[in-house]
Chain A
Amino acid sequence: MEDTRRADGRSPNQLRPFSCTGNPLHRAHGSARWAQGDTVVLAAVYGPKPGTRKGENPEKASIEVVWKPKTGQIGRQEKEYEMILKRTLQSICMLTVHPNTTTSVVLQVVGDDGSLLPCAINASCAALTFAGIPLKHLTVAIGCGVMENGTVILDTNTAEEQQLKSFAHLVFPNSRKSVDSKEPKEKDEEFERGLITSVTHGVMSEDDYFNCIERGLAASSRISDFMRKTLQKEASSVDA
């Protein structure tokens, strides 16, 4: 495979520098500021608060997502993001622990340079953990694009997304740390892994799509290690 260089000098599998700040907001019950290169999203979680909205199942907790764009009015694109996030977060939260409550997740886009939806999903997952909402596992989201010659590039930025004929945003569960597991690691990976959410733009062949999933899976373990370190640092700094 030839060494394709991308416009900003990264190799196909190279991700932009990540950073996550825990609890930057004092009034929110949990918050996180997740940055991937120039794409920055601030997520705030409020709850669980008593009462559910009309039309929601009172036997489960409900999650409400509000997406605030950086500029402009709230339109269909924002509503779509809200729906995708709501479905993703509903699949990781344990909804039966606090029935008849509402948890609100408010996302503010601070900077947008491609891979906005994965950045937002990572930020909201971190914010939910800081708020103490019980979760089944964490989510790790990554954006993959397919170039003309078939190479899969990770963590696309805006320029690449505009040029590529297709790209996908994929969300995986985090890699699990097992304390004393007798089963071999590969078998573990196969069972526990799966895809939580996949949003594709453009047209790509099946093979390309499965390539994207493979590459994304491999990269997600790096992101999930980073997330684990951030959460542990936050937990231990409070624990003193």
Chain B
Amino acid sequence: MEGVVVRGEGIRCRARTAAAYYRSYSTPALPAARRLLSSSNGVEEAAALPTSRQLCGKPRSPFAPLDLDLSLSLSLRVSTCAPSPRRRCSQVPGDVVLDLSEMTNQTIKLGTGLRQVTRLIGCTWDLQECDTIQATSAGMLRLSKPNKYWVESSQKRYIPSVEDTVLGIVVDTKPDNFVVDIKGPNLAFLPVLAFEGGTRRNIPKYEIGTLIYARVVKANSIMNPELSCMDVTGKAAEFGQLKGGYVFDSSTGMSRMLLSSPTCPVLEALGKKLSFEIAVGLNGRVWVNAPAADTVILVSNAIMRSESLSGIKQRAMVENLLERLS
């Protein structure tokens, strides 16, 4: 299974049943209007979904579409032969992933967890350049054809990258920005006007502690990341404040698993019996909402427990929990 996509679309969907959930991931880009969801109670309408974004979670590899972020993706000119690293193997910081001296005229893109090391070795009359790609974090090396490499690992903290959807908590309000905590190395700024139809007159009043579902617009290591509550076309698209419900922390790997397509087994199994609403932030936060409190508790416990379980075990665990409830 190569090129496993790390990020899903992160759309907050009101999953009433498994069928509805599948629909959110299997239909290609829908025309403007509303997506219909069926539930055990009948047909319900969901909020309007953006057209420009593909709903089918054709998951994306963690590279910015434009190579703006030079610190994250480097394009290198390398030698001819095809690289032969192992497709999926686990790396430890300092491991040499690729030896570039054997590869010429190839462009390689590096994602998170890798860096290029150039060293001059040998004596003064026989200096050779030793060019290698080394891992900087422990995890699995992933390759997405033709030339993208990254190291995938799961942490409690989040490193912001562009076009990620995250759940942030407001910690401060300034005249121009809301200061939002997204569990990263820096606090993020959410401009006051980055809302659909936002003008100086209708600035939302978010207090400290408000939970916000937003999209990362700018992220580099030097500046504070910038968020937006609009999608690329300027529509609201489910972004904004999330009211009620319960929020808990997970690891980044867990968030990616919850957002992967096909649907994560835990969510599928829960969606068959219960009706709830869930929003997953790639920064390791999950929000769950349901009409009854015990549904919320059950769903969040199931998700928290499913981190280290395989698909079959996840389903079995959910069955167990549901039996105990009924």
Q: Check B157 for interface membership: any CB of A closer than 8 A.
A: yes
Please give, as numbers and ranges, the residues of chain B lying within 8 Å of A99 by CB-CB distance.
Answer: 221-222
Quote the shortest CB–CB distance from A133 to chain B (angstroms).
Answer: 8
Of B29-37, B85-93, B274-282, the one with at least 4 CB within 8 A of chain A:
B85-93
Contacts known (A136-B94, A239-B152); A129 close to B138, Cβ less than 8 A: yes
**CB 8 Å contact bits of A168-208 with B (1 = contact, 0 = none):** 00000110111111100000000100000000000000000
A123 to chain B, nearest CB (A): 15
Q: Is B187 an interface residue (CB 8 A)?
A: yes
Nearest Cβ distance between residue B119 and chain A, in whole angstroms? Answer: 8
B235 contacts chain A at the CB level, 8 A cutoff: no
Check if B54 is an interface residue, CB within 8 A of chain A: no
Contact of A232 with B115 in the complex, beta carbons under 8 Å = no
B309 at the interface (CB under 8 A from A): yes
Complex-state Cα separation, A50 to B179, whole angstroms: 13
Q: Considering the chains assembled together, what is the distance between the CA atoms of A132 and B284 in angstroms?
A: 14
Contacts of B187 in A (CB 8 A): 50
A117 to chain B, nearest CB (A): 21
Say yes or no for A222: interface residue by CB 8 A criterion.
no
Of the candidates B113, B134, B308, which one forms a contact with A238 in the assembled complex, judged by CB atoms under 8 Å apart? B308
Residues of A near B139 (CB, < 8 A) are 235, 239
Whether the Cβ atoms of B155 and A48 lie closer than 8 Å is no
Interface centre among A100, A134, A136, A227 (most CB of B within 10 A): A134
With both chains docked as a complex, state the minimum distance between the C-beta of A187 and any C-beta of chain B, in angstroms. Answer: 9
Known: A49-B185, A138-B92, A239-B154. A182 touches B221 (CB 8 A): no
With a cutoff of 8 Å between Cβ atoms, the chain B residues found around residue A129 in the complex are 92-93, 137-138
Separation of A180 and B96 alpha carbons in the complex (Å): 8
- Mark B84-121 against chain A: 1 for CB-CB distance below 8 A, else 0: 11100110111111110010000000000101000101
Cα-based distance from A236 to B153 in the complex (angstroms): 9
**Size of chain B's interface in residues, with CB distance under 8 A?**
44
Q: Is the interface of B mostly helix, strand, loop or mixed?
A: loop
Tell me the chain A residues, 28-73 only, with Cβ under 8 Å from chain B: 29-30, 47-50
Return chain B residues, CB-CB under 8 Å to A227. Answer: 92
Q: How far is the CA of A88 from the CA of B159 in the complex (A)?
A: 24
**A109 within 8 A of partner (CB):** no
* Contact B96 A238, beta carbon cutoff 8 Å: no
Knowing A178-B96, A179-B96, the reply to whether A238 touches B138 (Cβ < 8 A) is: no
B153 contacts A173, C-beta separation under 8 Å? no
* B222 pairs with A132, CB closer than 8 A: no
Among residues 129 to 160 in chain B, which have CB atoms less than 8 Å away from a CB atom of chain A?
Answer: 134, 136-140, 152-157, 159
Task: Give the distance in Å from the alpha carbon of A163 to the alpha carbon of B96 in the complex.
Answer: 42
Interface residues as binary, A126-149 with B (CB distance below 8 Å gives 1, 0 otherwise): 000111111111100000000000
- Contact residues of B between 25 and 82, Cβ < 8 Å to A: 71
Cβ-defined contact, B99 with A138, below 8 A: no
| Chain A residues near B95 (CB-CB < 8 A) | 176-179
Instruction: Verify A136–B308 contact, CB threshold 8 A.
Output: no
| Distance (whole angstroms) from the CB of B8 to the closest CB of chain A | 16
What are the residues of chain B within 8 A of A50 when measuring CB–CB? 185-187
Instruction: Kindly provide the distance from the CB of B73 to the nearest chain A CB, expressed in whole angstroms.
Output: 14
Chain B CB count within 10 A is highest, among A49, A174, A177, for A177
| B10 interface residue (CB < 8 Å to A) | no
Some 6 contacts from A to B, beta carbons below 8 A apart, are A47-B157, A132-B155, A179-B95, A179-B97, A180-B99, A227-B92
**Which residues of B come within 8 Å of A, CB atoms?**
71, 84-86, 89-90, 92-99, 102, 113, 115, 119, 121, 134, 136-140, 152-157, 159, 185-187, 221-222, 251, 253, 257, 307-310
List the 3 closest A-B pairs by CB distance, nearest first: A137-B94, A132-B155, A48-B185
On A, residues with C-beta under 8 Å from B are 29-30, 47-50, 94, 97-101, 129-138, 173-174, 176-182, 191, 227-228, 231-232, 234-240
